[in-house]
Amino acid sequence: MKCAPIVLVSLILALPSVNAAINIVFDYGTTSAADIATYGSTFSAAETFWESQLTGYRDTGLNAPTQILINVDLGAIDGVGGTLGSAGPTYGNFGGSFVEATEGDMTFDTADLDTMVTADVFEAVIRHEIGHVLGFGTLWGLNGVYTNGTGQYTGTAALAAFQIEFDQPDATYIPVELDGGDGTANGHWNMGVYLGASEALDSRDDPGDTVVYTSVNNGFSLDDELMTGFLTGDFLSNTTLQSFYDIGYEVALDIMGSPVPEPATCALLMAIGSGFVVLRRKRRIL
Ligand SMILES: [Zn+2]
């Protein structure tokens, strides 16, 4: 009797490409070696923060940037107090379905550096400014989620997260800051929003644009979020995270605020004679 050999057949499966995390690269330019030694680890921590939150691009392949180069400048802005930093993208990728930043600038006021470090908020300020380079409040118009002057952000993912996170099921937009002049207006969540009984109205609340909401997110209000125009808090809301999805990034959490589930394992079971081959590959969750 003739025995048939057991043949192992390998198949190459067309798997979805694995999105790498975004890659932020700093160019410290004329920053002194001493300042880089002093502050470099804080910049690196802020970089790691965003690279763990934004897990890739919704555009793929050649249509997605390979890095975001950020030119860092420690310089004079307006003396002690006032503006702590400013930032924005300077070059973008227009090749895909979204406009993504590929290069940008960040400036931090040297007059405020010691104060920011002492108050332990410098990393939060860097996170905030990187957020602008990545597109928060700066690439909204080009990505169709906001029109300057309206005060109403309408990107669908962030709005859905806002409805859940801040218990605003009937909201049709997220309020955007219209106060503060150039550089603040139209680029942040609205600081004047009153989010409920647990938060007293204070000098930051502008009666002209007050919207009375009935609850807060675990005690946090949108006023104290990382991406408002005035530094009073630094928590990253899922609303902000999903706003990055709206402008072309893959993000670490879903609209409910849960970790994005691992895609279904791609498995193939194939029996050949008495042998079988299982091809299994999991996508890496970053
Ligand atoms: Zn800002």
The residues facing 269 across adjacent strands are 278
3-state DSSP assignment of residue 26: strand
Handedness of CA 107, 111, 117, 119 (dihedral sign): negative
Mean pLDDT of 20-43: 93
Q: What is the pLDDT of residue 26?
A: 97
For residue 102, with 0-12 CB atoms within 10 Å meaning exposed, 13-18 middle and 19 or more buried, which class applies?
middle
Please tell me the distance between residue 129's alpha carbon and the centre of ligand 1 in angstroms: 6
pLDDT at 178 over 70: yes
Q: What is the pTM of this model?
A: 0.80
Distance from Cα 88 to the centre of ligand 1, integer Å: 9
Q: What is the mean pLDDT of residues 43-51?
A: 97
And the tokens for 245?
A: 């999805």
Rounded mean pLDDT of 75-85? 89
The contacts of residue 27 (CB under 8 Å, 6+ apart) are 69, 70, 71, 72
User: How much distance in Å is there from the Cα of 83 to the middle of ligand 1?
Assistant: 9
Pairing of strands 24-27, 68-75: parallel
Average pLDDT rounded to a whole number, residues 148-175:
90
- Token readout for 158 is 């962030």
Q: What distance in angstroms lies between residue 275's CA and the mean position of ligand 1's atoms?
A: 61
Please state the φ and ψ torsions of residue 212, each to the nearest 5 degrees. Answer: -90, 115
CA of 89 to the centre of ligand 1 (A): 13
Query: What residues contact residue 214 under an 8 Å CB cut-off, 6+ apart?
Result: 167, 196
At 90, the pLDDT band (50, 70, 90 cuts) reads very high
| pLDDT above 80 for 2 | no
In percent, the amount of the chain with pLDDT more than 90 equals 52
- Alpha helices by DSSP H, listed for 15-155, are 33-53, 110-118, 122-134
pLDDT in tens, 217-234: 555 677 778 998 888 778
Q: Is the predicted pLDDT of residue 143 greater than 50, yes or no?
A: yes
* Cα(26) to centroid(ligand 1), Å: 19
> How large is the average pLDDT for residues 267-272?
31
The mean of the pLDDT values for the chain is 79
- Averaged over 91-107, what is the pLDDT? 96
Rg (C-alpha) for the chain, rounded Å, is: 23
Return all residues near 189 (Cβ < 8 A) that are at least 6 apart.
174, 175, 176, 177, 222, 225, 227, 228, 239, 240
More confident residue, 275 or 207: 207
At residue 279, the pLDDT reads 30
- pLDDT value for 44: 97
pLDDT for res 221: 73
CA distance 42 to 102: 22
Residue 282 CB neighbours (<10 A):
13
How many other C-beta atoms lie within 10 A of the C-beta of residue 28?
Answer: 17
Q: What is the DSSP letter of 86?
A: E
- Three-state DSSP at 164 gives helix
Residue 187 amino acid letter: G
Element (H, E) at 74: strand 68-75
Calculate how far, in angstroms, residue 228's C-alpha sits from the geometric centre of ligand 1: 7
Distance 182 CA to ligand 1 centre (A): 11
187 Cα–ligand 1 center, Å? 7
Q: What is the DSSP letter of 208?
A: G
Instruction: Assign 269 a pLDDT band (cuts: 50, 70, 90).
Output: very low
pLDDT in the model for residue 210: 47
pLDDT at 182: 85
